[in-house]
Amino acid sequence: MKNNLQSIIGNLEKGDKLELGNNEKFSNEILLNQSLQCSVLGGINFVNLTFKNIDFTGSFFSKTIFENCRFSNVILRKSEFWSCTFLECQMTGSNLTRAEFNSSTFKNCEFLNSNLRASDFMDFEFRETIFKNSNLDLILIEDVKVWKPNEWIEIKDESDFEKILKDMNLISTDEMENS
């Protein structure tokens, strides 16, 4: 029988943390209104999942793949991502404040009205990822690359991050679109 993430979460006792590993795959599910703080997820593949009103504050993700996932009002504040891949994902109204992303990738992703303030990106690649009305203040970067058609642009200084994204039309605000 195929594992169902919603039933696994439903079987957690109050105060239990969600801990998953062993190359499990979950697909075509909708997770609503859950507090999953301090979860530990390693080697998981999420395909076509919708995460809505989920609190993952302080969680740890390693070697996790999010493919065609939708995040709406998801809290990933102070979470850590190690060797994770986000493919064709959309984050709307989500809080990624002070999240850490290490040796990971966003490919064909979209951030809408999301807060990435003071997040840390190390050994990271942004490929065809856009940010609309999202807070990128105080971003820390080290060894970050952004894909520009036909070439990688290496960002060496935090102060260049937002400027390079704007120059490449990967970042926009409502004010920019109305001018």
Do 155 and 164 touch, CB atoms closer than 8 A? yes
Mean pLDDT over residues 93-97, rounded? 97
pLDDT value of residue 2: 52
| Per-domain boundaries in the chain | 28-171
Residue at 92: amino acid letter = T
Instruction: Name the least confident of 8-12, 62-66, 143-147.
Output: 8-12
| Residue-level pLDDT at 55 | 95
CA gap 106, 50 in Å, rounded: 17
- pTM for the structure as a whole: 0.90
Query: Which pLDDT band, with edges at 50, 70 and 90, does 3 fall under?
Result: low
CATH 2.160.20.80 fits 28-171, yes or no: yes
Tell me the average pLDDT across 89-96. Answer: 98
* Residue with more model confidence, 145 or 14: 145
How many residues can be counted in the chain? 179
Contact 59, 40 (CB under 8 A): yes
d(Cα 79, Cα 5) in Å, to the nearest integer? 20
CB atoms within 10 A of CB 168: 15
At 35-56, the pLDDT tens digits run 999 999 999 999 999 999 999 9
Residue 26 backbone class (left: φ over 0; alpha: ψ -120 to 50; beta: rest):
beta
